């Protein structure tokens, strides 16, 4: 993926979800998981009706129906009835009830050519979402009650908090460690270490420094993984059945040899990409990181799927091992949890080891300076919003506001501004949030990075970029939309004049145009920017799709922090939003060139994090995938045979890669209509994109498609949104993965796995393992 494509990805998906979205996510989860919970509750109560709980105490114990559960079910039914009533009101044309709005305002469609971005979740206080959330909460409480009760019991057996637990853990570890290091094992370990040390000596003597670096790195990773593995086994030693089964799964997987075969087959592909083929210098790191990510994904997901589907519970049931486990004082869900924990722990270790090894290889490989400059970092960007402007609409020939030129490129989200000295078109980035740290940036400079697309109208000169000028202004130096040719004026002409005089005066003393951080000219530039809130960068030669940068004086941001910027109307939503503290006006100076830009293309650089830390953080997404995959496989294997479980997991997990498409189908946004309309067009050999005729048949098909969309909307939530956990593009492009994104990822993971866990609980509980 090039930086351009990364920009498109950002534009498509919007910023990843952070802490601000957690409340909205929880509300959303209660609605969705509650819907599935209600379905489960109905099925469970029907099952309980069929079970002879009145004749058998065993069955009563196995299929409990408490008053709490019945009350929750009744309340959920009432709440869902309210939702239905509110929908009926909405269908009747009402927009509010008892003075409260019924539903959130519809999201305005994006401008033509722009992607449909799903708005981030936020807490909705309108009546329908509220009633839906309440209904979902009751349904979840009802269906979750036996699960929670048994889980509390399992917790008591498997997790002793407090000093008693610590003492017990200590005893277990001591006992385990005592038995672990027998004389034969010590000799074996010593021999292995000796051999590895000998290899190290040989590498040091005959190999290069880089090779020795790899040797040392791999050594450190291996020792870390072995120590962590031992620690995991010791932890599993501590308490009850869940850990015992986890340890069993761990050992089973290790001794099955499946893992080792995969490791041996795929490991060579971890080596840097340029060892295999010639890559553009600037893309060396990108390609290497993406390849490593792919190899790690294959190396961990496939064995995890096979282990959890084939070696876990289905294998126990097939080989009847489960007889000897279930006949012990073990809750069936403890088997599910144990399997999940064991496989996840093992695959976590594998992922950790592979991440370490790939990182050692990447950091020790010969990567070009260009690639390092572009991507061997973890930028923490401050992003703004982009708008296009030119002279006021009434002074333009078409009497409309300039919204960027569309050059007709397919799949290109960028809009363009024409170049030329007298060009009045600007791409303007507004930064409403300006971190205070920018005002105190090191060397009084704030890096600004950008990647533009150049669309040439004339052939121009070879290997020559386009000249672009930048004007940075704060809310204290507001600009006015021009009415005719010339330059963009300030709102306060007197202040503009003072600024220009000051610049002129300073230019006599120092060379402001060539000011570099650390020079007197830079100090002068900072002083002017801090005083007037304006900084201009005359001409920067930019190249097509290349990450480039310039330094802005920190003084500008000190000025931006002064005063209250007030509010303004957001031209997109019409809502009041804070006036931007800093705006960057971009102008293309080269005639005959069009400069293409999209919102993620320019950003302020708050600071940079080390690449290695970002690389490890990026693997958290893969770990979440692993947890989802293992969770799904273990959940389904409670009821299905190994092959069926594998197939179902492949479908559910695999569909998770296409959530965008599923969402399009669910929202009826697919080109050519839904499946019924498309099928009709296909059979009649009609154009897929042509609108359907206004006939009764077409209307019936449209209604069927709407019904289908409704079903897909409900079912689609059962598929994991895997793209939300995908961070490899951030790492490959050198953008920092904020910790809050990972925290939200973790919450999403728990939110996704919990309903599957409840399903697995009921499936396992209702399964006759000896039938």
Partner 1 sequence: MAESDVVVKTQSLTKVYRDFWGRKKKTALNALDLTIHKGEIFGLLGPNGSGKTTTIKLLLGLLFPTGGDAFVFGEPAAKVEKNERIGYLPEESYLYRFLNAEETLDFYGRLFDIDPDTRRRRAAELIDMVGLSADKKRILKEYSKGMRQRIGLAQALINDPELVILDEPTSGLDPLGTRWMKDLILDLRKKGKTVLMCSHRLDDVQDVCDRIAILYNGDLQTLGKVSTLLEDAVRLEVRANKVKESPELKADLEAVFRKHGGELETVGHPTTTLEELFLKIVDESKARPGRRYLPPAEAAKQ
Binding site for partner 1 (CB under 8 A): 52, 55-62, 157, 168, 171-172, 175-176, 179, 237, 239-241, 243-244, 247-248, 251-252, 255-256, 319-331, 768-771
Dihedral angle at the C-alpha atoms of 315, 317, 322, 324, nearest 10 degrees? -100
Closest separation between CB of residue 333 and partner 1, Å? Answer: 11
Output 175 or 573, the one with its CB closest to partner 1.
Answer: 175
The CA-atom distances, in angstroms, between 499 and each of 116, 130, 462, 506, 530 are: 42, 54, 38, 11, 11
Closest separation between CB of residue 248 and partner 1, Å? Answer: 6
Output 55 or 397, the one with its CB closest to partner 1.
Answer: 55
Structure tokens at 119: 């708005």
Residue 429 contacts residue 587 (beta carbons within 8 Å)? no
Output 195 or 261, the one with its CB closest to partner 1.
Answer: 261
Q: At what angle do helices 127-158 and 332-364 cross, to 10 degrees?
A: 100
Whole-number Å distance between alpha carbons of 220 and 224: 6
Output 131 or 234, the one with its CB closest to partner 1.
Answer: 234
Closest separation between CB of residue 756 and partner 1, Å? Answer: 23
Contacting residues for 283 by C-beta, under 8 A, at least 6 apart: 2, 371
H or E segment to which residue 597 belongs: strand 593-597
Output 211 or 320, the one with its CB closest to partner 1.
Answer: 320
- What distance separates the 2 farthest-apart alpha carbons in the chain? 101
Closest separation between CB of residue 369 and partner 1, Å? Answer: 51
Closest separation between CB of residue 352 and partner 1, Å? Answer: 24
Closest separation between CB of residue 243 and partner 1, Å? Answer: 8
Measured in degrees and rounded to the nearest 5, phi and psi for residue 399 equal 60, 25
Output 247 or 681, the one with its CB closest to partner 1.
Answer: 247
The count of other CB atoms within 10 Å of the CB of residue 163 is 8
Whole-number Å distance between alpha carbons of 430 and 584: 7
Burial of 82 (0-12, 13-18, 19+ CB in 10 A): middle
Q: Is the dihedral of CA 617, 621, 627, 629 positive or negative?
A: negative
Closest separation between CB of residue 197 and partner 1, Å? Answer: 29
Burial of 734 (0-12, 13-18, 19+ CB in 10 A): buried
Contacting residues for 317 by C-beta, under 8 A, at least 6 apart: 769
Closest separation between CB of residue 156 and partner 1, Å? Answer: 11
Output 240 or 596, the one with its CB closest to partner 1.
Answer: 240
The candidate with the shortest Cα–Cα distance to 474, out of 567, 561, 601, 538, is 561
Output 104 or 179, the one with its CB closest to partner 1.
Answer: 179
Closest separation between CB of residue 246 and partner 1, Å? Answer: 11
The count of other CB atoms within 10 Å of the CB of residue 516 is 12
Output 332 or 445, the one with its CB closest to partner 1.
Answer: 332
Output 51 or 224, the one with its CB closest to partner 1.
Answer: 51
Output 157 or 383, the one with its CB closest to partner 1.
Answer: 157
The count of other CB atoms within 10 Å of the CB of residue 739 is 12
Structure tokens at 73: 């079910």
H or E segment to which residue 607 belongs: strand 602-609
Closest separation between CB of residue 239 and partner 1, Å? Answer: 8
Residue 86 contacts residue 79 (beta carbons within 8 Å)? no
Output 58 or 442, the one with its CB closest to partner 1.
Answer: 58
The CA-atom distances, in angstroms, between 114 and each of 8, 90, 411, 419, 594 are: 11, 30, 9, 23, 19
The candidate with the shortest Cα–Cα distance to 4, out of 458, 411, 461, is 411
Output 51 or 348, the one with its CB closest to partner 1.
Answer: 51
Q: At what angle do helices 611-637 and 739-766 cross, to 10 degrees?
A: 10
Output 108 or 162, the one with its CB closest to partner 1.
Answer: 162
Closest separation between CB of residue 57 and partner 1, Å? Answer: 4
Closest separation between CB of residue 172 and partner 1, Å? Answer: 5
Closest separation between CB of residue 757 and partner 1, Å? Answer: 19
Contacting residues for 433 by C-beta, under 8 A, at least 6 apart: 382, 581
Whole-number Å distance between alpha carbons of 214 and 114: 46
Closest separation between CB of residue 69 and partner 1, Å? Answer: 18
Output 247 or 379, the one with its CB closest to partner 1.
Answer: 247
Output 61 or 264, the one with its CB closest to partner 1.
Answer: 61
* CA count, 13 A, side-chain hemisphere, 58: 2
Closest separation between CB of residue 321 and partner 1, Å? Answer: 5
DSSP calls for 163-221: HHHHHHHHHHHHHHHHHH--HHHHHHHHHHHHHHHHHHHHHHHHS-HHHHHHHHHHHHH
Output 316 or 726, the one with its CB closest to partner 1.
Answer: 316
Position of tokens 């995969």?
262
Position of tokens 């890669």?
657
Output 130 or 325, the one with its CB closest to partner 1.
Answer: 325
Residue 602 contacts residue 586 (beta carbons within 8 Å)? yes
Residue 235 contacts residue 324 (beta carbons within 8 Å)? no
The CA-atom distances, in angstroms, between 27 and each of 23, 85, 122, 123 are: 6, 20, 8, 7
Closest separation between CB of residue 195 and partner 1, Å? Answer: 25
Residue 430 contacts residue 580 (beta carbons within 8 Å)? yes
Closest separation between CB of residue 345 and partner 1, Å? Answer: 16
Closest separation between CB of residue 241 and partner 1, Å? Answer: 5
Measured in degrees and rounded to the nearest 5, phi and psi for residue 700 equal -65, -40
């Amino acid at each position: 993926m090039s930086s351009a494509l990364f920009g498109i990805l950002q534009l498509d998906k919007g910023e990843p979800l952070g802490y601000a979205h957690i409340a909205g996510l929880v509300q959303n989860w209660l609605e969705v998981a509650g819907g599935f919970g209600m379905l489960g509750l109905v099925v469970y109560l029907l099952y309980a009706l069929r079970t002879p709980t009145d004749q058998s105490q065993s069955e009563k114990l196995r299929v409990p129906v408490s008053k709490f559960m019945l009350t929750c079910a009744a309340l959920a039914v009432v709440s869902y009835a309210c939702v239905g009533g509110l929908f009926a009101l909405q269908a009747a044309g009402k927009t509010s009830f008892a003075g409260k709005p019924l539903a959130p305002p519809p999201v305005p469609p994006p401008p033509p050519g722009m992607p449909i971005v799903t708005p981030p979740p936020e807490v909705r206080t309108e009546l329908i979402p509220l009633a839906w959330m309440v209904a979902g909460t009751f349904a979840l409480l009802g269906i979750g009650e036996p699960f929670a009760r048994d889980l509390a019991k399992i917790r008591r057996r498997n997790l002793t908090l407090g000093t008693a637990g610590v003492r017990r853990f200590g005893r277990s570890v001591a006992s385990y460690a005592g038995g672990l290091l027998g004389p034969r094992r010590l000799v074996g370990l010593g021999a292995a270490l000796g051999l590895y040390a000998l290899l190290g000596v040989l590498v040091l003597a005959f190999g290069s420094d880089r090779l020795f670096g790899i040797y040392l790195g791999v050594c450190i990773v291996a020792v870390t993984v072995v120590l962590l593995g031992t620690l995991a086994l010791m932890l599993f030693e501590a308490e009850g059945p869940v850990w015992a089964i986890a340890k069993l799964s761990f050992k089973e997987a290790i001794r099955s040899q499946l893992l080792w075969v995969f490791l041996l087959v795929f490991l060579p592909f971890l080596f840097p990409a340029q060892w295999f083929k010639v890559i553009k210098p600037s893309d060396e790191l990108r390609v290497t990181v993406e390849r490593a990510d792919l190899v790690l994904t294959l190396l961990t997901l496939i064995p995890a799927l096979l282990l959890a589907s084939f070696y876990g519970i289905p294998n126990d049931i097939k080989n009847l091992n489960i007889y000897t486990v279930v006949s012990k004082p073990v809750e069936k869900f403890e088997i599910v949890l144990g399997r999940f924990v064991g496989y996840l722990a093992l695959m976590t270790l594998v992922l950790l080891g592979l991440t370490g090894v790939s990182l050692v290889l990447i950091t020790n490989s010969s990567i070009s300076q260009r690639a390092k400059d572009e991507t061997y970092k973890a930028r923490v960007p401050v992003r703004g919003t982009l708008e296009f402007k030119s002279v006021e609409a009434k002074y333009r020939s078409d009497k409309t506001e300039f919204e960027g030129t569309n050059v007709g490129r397919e799949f290109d989200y960028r809009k363009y501004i024409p170049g030329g000295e007298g060009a009045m078109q600007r791409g303007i980035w507004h930064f409403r949030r300006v971190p205070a740290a920018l005002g105190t940036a090191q060397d009084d400079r704030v890096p600004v990075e950008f990647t533009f697309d150049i669309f040439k109208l004339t052939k121009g000169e070879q290997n020559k970029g386009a000249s672009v000028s930048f004007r940075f202004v704060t809310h204290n130096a507001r600009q006015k939309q021009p009415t005719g040719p010339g330059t963009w004026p300030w709102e306060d002409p007197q202040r503009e004049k003072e600024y220009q005089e000051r610049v002129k005066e300073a230019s006599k003393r120092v060379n402001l145009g060539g000011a570099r951080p650390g020079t007197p000219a830079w100090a002068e530039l900072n002083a002017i920017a801090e005083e007037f809130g304006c900084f201009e960068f005359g001409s920067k030669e930019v190249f097509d799709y290349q990450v480039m940068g310039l330094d802005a004086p920190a003084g500008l941001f000190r000025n931006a922090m002064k005063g209250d910027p007030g509010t303004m109307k957001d031209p997109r939503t019409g809502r009041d939003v804070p006036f931007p503290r800093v705006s960057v006006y971009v102008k293309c100076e080269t005639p005959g060139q069009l400069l293409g830009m999209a919102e993620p293309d320019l950003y302020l650089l708050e600071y940079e994090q080390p690449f290695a830390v970002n690389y490890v953080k990026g693997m958290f997404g893969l770990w979440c995938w692993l947890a989802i995959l293992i969770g799904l496989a273990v959940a389904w294997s409670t009821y299905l045979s190994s092959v069926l479980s594998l197939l179902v997991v492949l479908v559910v997990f695999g569909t998770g890669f296409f959530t965008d498409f599923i969402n399009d189908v669910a929202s009826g946004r697919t080109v050519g209509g839904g499946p019924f309309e498309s099928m009709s067009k296909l059979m009649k050999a009609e154009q897929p994109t042509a609108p359907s005729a206004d006939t009764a048949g077409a209307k019936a098909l449209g209604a069927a498609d709407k019904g289908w969309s409704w079903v897909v909307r409900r079912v689609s939530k059962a598929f994991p949104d895997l793209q939300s956990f995908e961070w490899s593009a951030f790492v490959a492009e050198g953008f920092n993965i904020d910790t809050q994104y990972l925290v939200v990822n973790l919450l999403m993971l728990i939110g996704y796995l919990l309903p599957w866990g409840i399903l697995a609980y009921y499936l396992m509980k209702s399964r006759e393992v000896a039938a």
